[in-house]
Structure 1
Amino acid sequence: MEGQRVAKAAGLIMISMVVSRILGYLRDVVIYAQFGQNRITDAYNAAFSVPDFLYMLLVGGALSSSFIPVFSSYIATEREKEAWEMASIVFNVIMVLMVVGISLGLIYTPKLIYLLVPGFNPASLELTVMLTRIMFAQAFFMALSGMSMGILNSYKHFFAPALGSVLYNLAIIAVGLLLSPLLGIAGFSVGVVVGAMLNFGVQLPVLIRMGLRYRFSFNLTHPGVRKLGSLMLPVLIGLSVTQFNLFVNQNLASTLAPGIVAALRTAQRLMQLPIGVFAIAVAVAVFPTLTSQAARKEREQFKHTMSLGIRSVIFLTVPAAAGLISLRVPIVRLLFEQGKFTPQATQATAYALLFYSLGLFAYSAIQVLNRVFYALHDTRTPVTGGVLTILLNIYLNFVLIKKLGHGGLALAYSVAGIFNMMLLLFILKRKLGGINGYQMLFSFVKSLFAASVMGLCSYVVASYIEQVTDISLKINQALQVFAAAGAGMIVYILLALIFRMEEATMVMGILKRRFSRPV
């Protein structure tokens, strides 16, 4: 029964993620077609840095990773009143910190932006400062959304947060198109703020219906708050190091040719598409189950849920990486090459995508692995591993950028991700006394072999279509991508069936239960 609930939740989140990512793609297409891939869009992408850092530090990473295990443990042990009291205190503290952080950010925006993108010219720096100040309002409403999502997910309610992410991207597109004739690219920054407001607004009625029990309290001695604080501290340290790595990456990219900051961000979003659709959907769905099983000390069920999650995301994302690598130029060309997005921008983005895709499977597995540790109320291990990983990433950034340009920055990110995954698996094996490692390794090898054959097949089909058609036409570009991807997918599925891969049955079961049963 628990497995069916996880499958249904994963299916729901997967569908919402697909819709949200499609809208995210349309958002990027509209922006790049209208403004191109240059210092204007570099400024737009860089403007997210400081507000996103504030949000991730207070809510998106540190709080969400610690809040759900603590809140869920209260719910699982039928102490709902204490759960809501703890949530109220945390909410009040976060809101105060968010207001202080935003105020300081608004005051020191010019200095912060100069540190982040010193390679920008004065006009680009000024534009980035203006866009950043607009984005700070987004951080406030995303904090509200993050809190509400943590509570709703603890109650295993996933629909409203999923709908919120869809509305977020819809608002950016609609408001951006409406205001950009008047405000330029700042119109899309206003759209980001409106989207964040809608993201929270759609969750609030559900919270109220579930019996929202807010209290105005700052009782920091509450046991749940103290537990949360002890769990958050190492995560905060890890996130600070992670964000520092992103800042170093952006600092180095700003010294390269105009448009490279945007190229790296676009390529990384494409790489993260399978992570968002598959890995995060599975990880978010299994997290409440993992926390409940950990609270009830159901060790074997816990290990089974963990193994199910990791093997499922690897089975889904290894072929996704092979497809992105073999079809990187056709995909970027089809999705973005129009308006002011030039063939040179396509090549720059595809070059980064090649190296980012190498680490796709590792970052997908990390989505599950981190939540396994969080469910065990162990935030120190993933943070310690994360700090070591980021230090490696920063070192590789400086080494590889000299040899591979912006591709080196992407490769450093991938190598660091693979190191992080391996380290977490090693520590988890010692912690749990076994994680069915050989089963996971055997599954990965079979997926890798099948995906390699799939990638080769896709490349051959794409090359043939490019030779016999006028590839400058969008219809032929679409034919090239869909025919090559379709052929590759058929090959991968056939090989999975020939190898009798258990993961194929698991994934089909998730999809079948999602579409055959109402949520």
Structure 2
Amino acid sequence: MNSMPTSSNSPADSVPGQEERSLFANFRLVSLMTLLSRSLGLVRDMGMAMLFGNGPIMDAFSIAFRIPNLARRLFGEGALSTAFLPAFVREREQQGLTSAWRLVTATLIWLTQFLSGVTVVGLVLLLGFYLAGFNSPEYQLLLGLTAIMLPYLLLICLVAQISAVMHAQNRFGWPAFSPLILNGMWIVTIWCIAPWWSSPESQVYVMAVSILFAGVVQLFCVLLPLYRQGYQYTADWRESKADVRTVVRSMVPILIGLSIAQINAVSDSLIAWGFSAPEVISNPSDTLLNTAWQVRYPLESGTASALYFGQRLFQFPLGLFGLALGTVLYPLMARHAETGRHDLLQSTLLLGLKQVIGIGFPASVGMMILAGPITRLLFEYGQFTSEDGLQTAQMIAAYGAAVWSSCALLILHRGFYAMGDRMTPLYVGLQMVLLNLLLNFSLIWVWQGVGLAISTAICAAIQVVLIIRKFENQIGKLNRSELGLTLLKTSIAVTAMGTVCGGLLFVLPPSDHFTQRLWNVMLPLLAAIVVYFVAAWLLKMDFLWSLFTREPKSELDS
């Protein structure tokens, strides 16, 4: 895109150079920490696959961990920053830092009380399920693991809240480092602690306890820096109750809107677990979901585990690119919306969508092509068999189709939040929850477990189309011809990339040795990256390079 001179009264020019440099420095810091955390997450998943394989133990663990993990994403993936930060900054600027710390204290106390109540109610329900006669080994394991990890919900949400306060103080280091603590302790437990127990059931309980302990360490690692920033407990925190209620009211629709994908992921896992045939079959009737109607289980054992591993791989490019891009563009969109410059807001959104096409689309295709080699490299060791690998690779490929659309939704949702519209993403997202459930219960009878992942990809693509239309109704039509040209050029580059990547996979020999498996992933991956960016350069896809420059201001304001 040819940049034009920016007017002197452009909102982008109102940002001081030092503040802008700080923004990109923080972006690089968060991106680096995200890369390290996701890399450690892959290592931990490799360890879990080696230790438990795909089966009822890993199924139960993945379901039990999803409950606190869902809470982490609900409170930590943008909702707290979006709802709490404006209130904190406004209080600090208008009433002073003492009043702002009072708001922090009131919010932390309310959050502790609320989540403690949720935890207690959850533990009572689990006890009720146990007393109601859910005494099969699979149910007992699921209930026990859930009971152990449920308090992690409180710990990790407090970590997210404190991190939001530190973000408002322009401190990003410790909040970004916090996930590394969990993954690091998880990995240490897999290789150094769990092997001291002989049975897989005991080992998986040890893993659950280690996660709870890691939550305590995470909390202290953000709480102590907060005190060093000057935070002080204020006994008169009740005076900020009205402000807390305002934050909560604005947070609720944002929480739900941002977490539609997580709600769908949990429902997918529950369906996978409930509709999977038992691993051990003692008589032919065990293969029947409904004996009277002779209906067989549509899914095989280990489907929930394959979903878990597939979603973990799916989150890797989504976190590195989608969340990072949303972090950079959201302040710009918020500033343009605040000053009423809908033309600049439209340009920023257009740039974000072009980046999603230019980066997210090839990421989707690459993930689909390399699903098999990635699975063999990361997971096919120990108890994780080749059959487990095939099942997981299918999940990774299906989820890969949703990378571009999920990245687009991260940008589009923030566009609505920048304009103060919290309800439109919520309404559209709730429609997608219903559609996802309908597709889930339909596709599992056609494509078995991979149908759950395909349903997610379909719903994400439909949601992108609906959200764009809603956005255009508010700020006007986007430049469809520019988006179309971007899609055409990207398709040509991706075709060249896919041809080279697939050709290398065809000639590289399969192997059980780690070095050859690594080579089978890295050579096609590096070749695909080089071919794609060379093709992008030849096709003059100049918008791609703005993502790597220090000040993409001219692109946004052209």
Query: Is 2:215 aligned against 1:196?
Result: yes
Match of 1:348, SS state, is helix
Match of 2:394, SS state, is helix
Q: CA deviation at 1:351?
A: 0.9
Q: Which runs of 5+ in 2 are unaligned?
A: 1-16, 277-299, 553-558
Query: Is 2:49 aligned against 1:32?
Result: yes
Q: Which runs of 5+ in 1 are unaligned?
A: 513-519
Residue in structure 2 matched with residue 261 of structure 1 by the alignment: 304
Query: Is 2:31 aligned against 1:14?
Result: yes
For residues 85-105 of structure 1, the C-alpha deviation after alignment (integer angstroms, 9 at most, x for no partner) is: 333322221110011111111
Residue in structure 2 matched with residue 375 of structure 1 by the alignment: 418
TM-score, normalised with respect to structure 2: 0.82
Query: Is 2:212 aligned against 1:169?
Result: no
For residues 204-241 of structure 1, the C-alpha deviation after alignment (integer angstroms, 9 at most, x for no partner) is: 2332233224434234653x434323322334555787
CA distance in 2, matches of 1:367, 1:491: 27
CA distance in 1, matches of 2:521, 2:150: 38
Q: CA deviation at 1:172?
A: 1.1
Residue in structure 2 matched with residue 396 of structure 1 by the alignment: 439
Counterpart among 544, 550, 554 of residue 504 in structure 1: 544
C-alpha contact 1:397 1:408 (8 A) present in aligned 2: yes
Closer/same/farther in 2, CA of residues 33 and 113 from structure 1, 3 Å limit: farther
Q: CA deviation at 1:346?
A: 0.7
Counterpart among 135, 141, 146 of residue 155 in structure 2: 141
What's the % identity of the aligned pairs? Answer: 25
C-alpha contact 1:73 1:292 (8 A) present in aligned 2: no
CA distance in 1, matches of 2:539, 2:469: 27
Q: How does 1:239-388 map to 2 (within 5 A)?
A: 245-254=264-273, 255-256=275-276, 257-295=300-338, 297=340, 299-388=342-431
Q: CA deviation at 1:169?
A: 0.6
Match of 1:48, SS state, is helix
CA distance in 1, matches of 2:339, 2:90: 9
Matched pairs, number = 505
Counterpart among 19, 27, 51 of residue 68 in structure 2: 51
Q: Which moved more, 1:299-308 or 1:237-246?
A: 237-246
Residue in structure 2 matched with residue 478 of structure 1 by the alignment: 518
CA distance in 1, matches of 2:38, 2:445: 33
For residues 240-286 of structure 1, the C-alpha deviation after alignment (integer angstroms, 9 at most, x for no partner) is: 87666444322321122221101011011111110011111222344
C-alpha contact 1:291 1:376 (8 A) present in aligned 2: yes
C-alpha contact 1:59 1:147 (8 A) present in aligned 2: yes
**Partner amino acid, structure 2, of 1:33:** M
Residue in structure 2 matched with residue 42 of structure 1 by the alignment: 59
CA distance in 2, matches of 1:4, 1:433: 32
**Partner amino acid, structure 1, of 2:112:** M
Residue in structure 2 matched with residue 408 of structure 1 by the alignment: 451
**Partner amino acid, structure 2, of 1:328:** A
**Partner amino acid, structure 2, of 1:507:** L
CA distance in 1, matches of 2:267, 2:129: 13
Q: CA deviation at 1:373?
A: 2.1
For residues 390-426 of structure 1, the C-alpha deviation after alignment (integer angstroms, 9 at most, x for no partner) is: 1111111111111111111001001111112222222
Residue in structure 1 matched with residue 85 of structure 2 by the alignment: 68
CA distance in 2, matches of 1:114, 1:300: 61
Residue in structure 1 matched with residue 228 of structure 2 by the alignment: 209
CA distance in 1, matches of 2:153, 2:492: 43
CA distance in 2, matches of 1:465, 1:243: 37
For residues 93-145 of structure 1, the C-alpha deviation after alignment (integer angstroms, 9 at most, x for no partner) is: 11100111111111112567999xx9x98112111111111112211110111
CA distance in 2, matches of 1:389, 1:105: 27
CA distance in 1, matches of 2:498, 2:551: 24
Residue in structure 1 matched with residue 206 of structure 2 by the alignment: 187
C-alpha contact 1:52 1:139 (8 A) present in aligned 2: yes
CA distance in 2, matches of 1:114, 1:304: 59
CA distance in 2, matches of 1:142, 1:499: 46
Match of 1:156, SS state, is coil
Residue in structure 2 matched with residue 516 of structure 1 by the alignment: none
Residue in structure 2 matched with residue 218 of structure 1 by the alignment: 238
CA distance in 2, matches of 1:5, 1:436: 32
C-alpha contact 1:44 1:131 (8 A) present in aligned 2: yes
CA distance in 2, matches of 1:202, 1:308: 37
**Partner amino acid, structure 1, of 2:531:** V
